[in-house]
C-alpha cells in the first residue's frame, strides 16, 4: 500500500537528503586507487552520525555496513571490506540516511582513472537513463511509463536491464510501495499521484541482464561478469511538477576524476 507524504514530511525527507548528499561528497573526496572500500564506509558513517542522522543501511535485515559498495561486475549490495581500489575499477556507492524518522536513499557509480571508454559510455548512458525515467515520473502517468523510458533507451545500446531489483517508495520505511521497475509497458502499473515519494534507480549491465546472488545472501553480480552501472535519485510527485529530492551536487564538486570529459 502506497503511503502518501504531506508537504511537512517531504520537507524532512529533503533535510535527510541533504545530509545524504553531503555524505556522498565526503566519500567522493577519497575515491582513488589504493583506498579500501572499508575506509569509504567509515567516512560515510561518521559524517552521517556527526550531522544528526542514522545510517539507514547498517543492520538493515542484517546488512553489516553503512554503504553498499559494488565494484565492477557487482551490481548492488556489495559489502565494504579490505579490497583496495585499482585503476580501471568502477564502483557503485549506495547510501541511505534516516533523519527525524524519515529515510533518504541515493547512489552514484564512479569510474576510476583508467576505466575503459566503453565502460565510461555505460556509466554515462545509465546516468542519462535515470533522468529519462524522471521525466516520465509525473502526476497522471503510470509507473510503466517510467520503466519503459529507461528500458527502451538503454536496450538500444545492447545493455541488459536487471529485472530482479527495482526502485521503491521511501518514507518512514527505507523500502515502501510502490515498486519502481526499470522496465515496463507504457500506460501500465500504478498511477502516479501527488504525495508519492520514491527512488528511481537504473541498474544496467554492459552484457546480459541476468544476475547471480552470491553465497553471502546480499551481493548481486552479473552472470557474465561484465561491468554494471547504478545511479539513483528520489523524487516527490506534485500535481503540477516533480521534484528531485536527492542531490549528486556534492559528488560532482568533490570527485577529482572528471570522467564525463574522458569517454572519447
pLDDT digits over 207-253, tens only? 999 999 999 999 999 999 999 999 999 999 999 999 999 999 999 99
pTM of the model: 0.96
Band (pLDDT 50/70/90 cuts) for residue 259 is confident
Where does residue 75 fall: left (phi above 0), alpha (psi -120 to 50 degrees), or beta otherwise?
Answer: alpha
Is 1 domain-assigned?
no
Band (pLDDT 50/70/90 cuts) for residue 261 is low
Could you report the per-residue pLDDT of 52-72, keeping only the tens digit for each? 999 999 999 999 999 999 999
- The CATH number of the domain where 100 resides is what? 3.90.230.10
Is 65 domain-assigned?
yes
Residue 43 predicted with pLDDT over 70: yes
Could you report the per-residue pLDDT of 92-139, keeping only the tens digit for each? 999 999 999 999 999 999 999 999 999 999 999 999 999 999 999 999
Q: How many domains does the chain have?
A: 1
Is 192 domain-assigned?
yes
What range defines the domain where residue 209 resides?
Answer: 7-261
Is 198 domain-assigned?
yes
SS (H, E, C) the chain: CECCCCHHHHHHHHHHHHHHHHHHHHHHHHCCCCCEHHHHHHHHHHHHHHCCCEECCCCHHHCCCCEEEEECCEEECCCCCCCECCCCCEEEEEEEEEECCEEEEEEEEEECCCCCHHHHHHHHHHHHHHHHHHHHCCCCCEHHHHHHHHHHHHHCCCCEECCCCCEEECCCCCCEEEEECCCCCCCCCCECCCCCEEEECCEEECCCCCEEECCCCCCEEECCCCCEEECEEEEEECCCCEEECCCCHHHHHHCCCCHHHCCC
pLDDT of residue 181: 98
Is 105 domain-assigned?
yes
Amino acid at each position: 500500500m502506497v503511503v502518501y507524504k504531506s508537504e511537512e514530511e517531504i520537507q524532512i525527507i529533503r533535510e535527510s537528503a541533504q545530509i545524504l548528499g553531503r555524505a556522498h561528497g565526503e566519500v567522493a573526496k577519497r575515491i582513488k586507487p589504493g583506498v579500501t572500500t572499508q575506509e569509504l564506509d567509515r567516512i560515510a558513517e561518521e559524517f552521517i552520525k556527526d550531522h544528526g542522522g542514522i545510517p539507514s543501511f547498517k543492520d538493515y535485515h542484517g546488512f553489516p555496513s553503512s554503504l553498499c559498495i559494488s565494484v565492477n561486475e557487482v551490481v548492488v549490495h556489495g559489502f565494504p571490506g579490505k579490497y583496495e581500489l585499482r585503476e580501471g575499477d568502477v564502483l557503485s556507492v549506495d547510501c541511505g540516511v534516516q533523519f527525524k524518522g524519515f529515510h533518504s536513499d541515493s547512489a552514484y557509480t564512479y569510474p576510476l582513472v583508467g576505466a575503459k571508454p566503453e565502460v565510461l559510455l555505460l556509466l554515462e548512458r545509465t546516468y542519462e537513463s535515470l533522468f529519462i525515467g524522471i521525466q516520465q515520473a509525473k502526476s497522471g502517468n503510470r509507473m510503466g511509463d517510467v520503466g519503459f523510458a529507461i528500458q527502451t533507451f538503454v536496450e538500444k545500446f545492447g545493455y541488459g536491464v536487471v529485472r530482479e531489483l527495482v526502485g521503491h517508495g521511501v518514507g518512514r520505511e527505507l523500502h515502501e510501495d510502490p515498486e519502481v521497475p526499470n522496465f515496463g509497458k507504457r500506460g501500465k502499473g500504478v498511477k502516479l499521484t501527488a504525495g508519492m515519494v520514491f527512488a528511481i534507480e537504473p541498474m544496467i549491465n554492459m552484457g546480459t541482464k541476468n544476475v547471480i546472488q552470491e553465497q553471502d545472501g546480499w551481493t548481486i553480480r552479473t552472470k557474465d561478469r561484465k561491468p554494471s552501472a547504478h545511479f539513483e535519485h528520489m523524487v516527490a510527485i506534485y500535481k503540477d511538477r516533480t521534484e528531485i529530492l536527492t542531490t549528486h551536487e556534492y559528488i560532482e564538486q568533490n570527485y577529482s576524476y572528471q570522467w564525463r570529459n574522458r569517454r572519447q
